C-alpha cells in the first residue's frame, strides 16, 4: 500500500523558495479558469482580458507602472518591518495620512513658490506617513501594545480624518457639492515622465527605493542588525543591537514609504484629495511583500503582477460584466496558493510504501502483522 505524506526537510529548500511563487501563480490562474466557467464566461477571453490587456500596448504598460508604483513603495517599507518581526498591518492608514499631509501643502500653495513646491509636497506626505507609523512604534515600545491591532485600527481613524476634511473644511466650494478638494494647480503636481502618459517621477523614485533597500539590507551593519533582531532577538541583544531602535527604524521607514506613495498618488494621477484615495494599496502591498519573498527585486516583480490584477479586474468589470470584487478574489487566491506552496520549502512529499506480512503465533495461533516502510522524497 502506498500513500503520499509530508516529511520535514533537514534544511529549507532554496529551489522551492523561489519556485513556490511561480507555482502559486499557476494555481491561481487554474482556479481562475474554473471561476470564469462557473460564472458563464469564456475562460480564454477572460484570461486574455485579465492578463494580456494590461501589457499589450505602451499606454497599457504605462498604466501598469502607475499602479505598480505605490504598491512597490509600500511593500518595500513593509518588507523591512516583516524582516524585523514587526507586523505593520496599517500601511493603508499611513498611505492615507501621507495623501492628507501632501494635499494640505498643495491646496495652500502659492504660485510664487514655483515648481520647488513639489518637493515640499512629497516631503510632507512622507512626514505624514512617518508620524502615523511612529504612533504605533511608541505604543508598542512604551506600553507593549500589539502593533497588529494598533496599526490596523489606525487605518479607520485615518479614513475618518480624510472624510472629515473632504466633506468639511477642505471641500471645494466650486465642486458641485462633491466631497473633494479643489484640483491641485499644475505647479504642485509631480512631473510626468512621458507626454501623454500618466507615469510620473514616482516610478524612478520607487525603483531607487528598491535599490536603496537592497543596499541597506545586504551591505550595511544596520540592515544586518535589523534582520538579526527579527530572526533571533536574544542573539541580537547579546550582540549589541537594540530591539527598540530597530522597532522605530522599521516602522518609521515603512510609514515614510507609505506616506510617500500617498503623496505621489494625490499629486500625480489623481490630482486632488477625494474620499476614494484609500483603494486597498496598503493591504495589497502585504501580498506583494510576501510574494516577492521580502526581497527588493522580488517585490519589484510582484508589484507588477499585483498591478496587472488591479487593471485586469477593472477591464473584466467593464468589458465582461464581472464583479469588481474579482480583483480581491485573485489577490486572495494568490496569497492562499502561496501559503500552500510554501509548505514545500520546509517539507517534502514522500511516497510511503507499506509491505504487510502475516504470521501465526506458535502459542496462541494469533495473527500479527509487521510493516516495513520505504520512503521516497520529492
Could you write out the DSSP letters of every residue in 152-194?
Answer: HHHHHHHHHHHHHHHHTTT--TTSTT-S-PPPPPGGGSPPBSS
pLDDT tens figures, 108-160: 999 988 899 999 999 999 999 999 999 999 999 999 999 999 999 999 999 99
Instruction: Tell me the domains of the chain and their CATH numbers.
Output: 41-341 (1.10.3470)
Is the CB of residue 331 less than 8 Å from the CB of residue 306? yes
CA torsion sign for 206, 208, 210, 213 is negative
- Return the pLDDT at 197: 84
Positions of the chain with pLDDT lower than 50, given as ranges = 360-373
CA torsion sign for 174, 175, 180, 186 is negative
Separation in Å, CA 219 to CA 38, 211, 232, 279:
50, 11, 19, 35
Query: Three-class SS of residue 292?
Result: coil
Is the CB of residue 65 less than 8 Å from the CB of residue 51? no
Count of other CB atoms within 10 angstroms of residue 13:
15
Instruction: List CB contacts of 71: < 8 A, sequence separation 6 or more.
Output: 281, 284, 285, 288, 303, 306, 307
- Helix (H) or strand (E) segment spanning residue 261: helix 243-265
Reported pTM: 0.89
Separation in Å, CA 221 to CA 9, 184, 225, 250:
31, 42, 6, 14
Instruction: List CB contacts of 350: < 8 A, sequence separation 6 or more.
Output: 4, 5, 6, 7, 375, 376, 377, 378
- Return the pLDDT at 18: 85
- Helix (H) or strand (E) segment spanning residue 268: none
Q: How far apart are CA 239 and CA 158, in angstroms?
A: 38
- Return the pLDDT at 358: 52
- Helix (H) or strand (E) segment spanning residue 343: helix 343-346
- Helix (H) or strand (E) segment spanning residue 128: helix 117-143
Q: Round the CA-based radius of gyration of the chain to a whole number and report it.
A: 25
- Return the pLDDT at 356: 58
Amino acid at each position: 500500500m502506498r500513500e503520499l505524506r509530508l516529511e520535514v526537510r533537514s534544511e529549507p529548500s532554496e529551489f522551492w523558495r523561489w519556485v513556490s511563487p511561480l507555482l502559486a501563480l499557476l494555481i491561481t490562474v487554474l482556479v481562475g479558469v474554473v471561476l470564469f466557467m462557473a460564472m458563464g464566461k469564456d475562460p480564454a477571453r477572460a484570461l486574455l482580458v485579465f492578463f494580456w490587456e494590461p501589457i499589450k500596448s505602451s499606454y497599457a504598460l504605462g498604466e501598469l507602472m502607475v499602479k505598480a508604483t505605490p504598491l512597490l513603495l509600500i511593500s518595500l517599507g513593509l518588507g523591512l518591518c516583516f524582516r524585523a518581526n514587526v507586523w505593520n498591518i496599517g500601511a493603508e492608514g499611513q498611505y492615507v495620512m501621507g495623501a492628507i499631509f501632501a494635499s494640505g501643502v498643495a491646496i495652500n500653495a502659492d504660485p510664487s513658490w514655483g515648481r520647488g513646491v513639489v518637493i515640499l509636497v512629497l516631503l510632507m506626505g512622507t512626514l505624514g506617513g512617518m508620524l502615523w507609523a511612529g504612533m504605533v512604534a511608541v505604543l508598542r515600545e512604551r506600553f507593549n501594545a500589539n502593533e497588529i491591532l494598533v496599526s490596523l485600527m489606525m487605518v479607520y481613524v485615518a479614513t475618518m480624518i480624510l472624510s472629515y476634511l473632504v466633506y468639511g473644511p477642505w471641500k471645494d466650494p466650486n465642486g458641485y457639492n462633491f466631497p473633494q478638494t479643489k484640483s491641485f494647480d499644475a505647479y504642485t503636481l509631480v512631473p510626468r515622465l512621458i507626454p501623454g502618459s500618466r507615469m510620473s517621477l514616482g516610478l524612478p523614485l520607487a525603483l531607487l527605493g528598491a535599490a536603496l533597500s537592497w543596499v541597506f539590507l545586504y551591505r550595511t551593519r544596520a540592515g544586518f542588525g535589523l534582520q538579526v533582531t527579527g530572526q533571533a532577538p536574544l542573539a541580537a541583544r547579546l550582540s549589541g543591537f537594540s530591539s527598540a531602535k530597530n522597532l522605530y527604524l522599521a516602522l518609521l521607514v515603512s510609514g515614510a514609504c507609505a506616506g510617500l506613495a500617498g503623496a505621489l498618488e494625490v499629486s500625480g494621477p489623481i490630482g486632488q484629495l477625494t474620499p476614494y484615495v484609500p483603494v486597498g494599496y496598503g493591504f495589497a502591498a502585504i501580498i506583494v511583500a510576501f510574494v516577492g519573498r521580502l526581497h527588493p527585486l522580488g517585490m519589484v516583480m510582484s508589484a507588477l503582477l499585483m498591478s496587472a490584477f488591479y487593471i485586469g479586474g477593472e477591464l473584466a468589470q467593464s468589458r465582461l460584466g464581472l464583479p469588481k470584487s474579482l480583483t480581491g478574489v485573485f489577490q486572495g487566491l494568490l496569497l492562499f496558493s502561496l501559503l500552500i506552496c510554501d509548505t514545500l520549502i520546509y517539507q517534502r512529499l514522500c511516497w510511503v510504501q507499506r509491505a504487510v506480512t502475516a504470521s501465526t503465533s506458535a502459542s496462541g495461533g494469533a495473527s500479527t502483522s509487521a510493516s516495513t516502510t520505504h520512503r521516497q522524497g520529492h
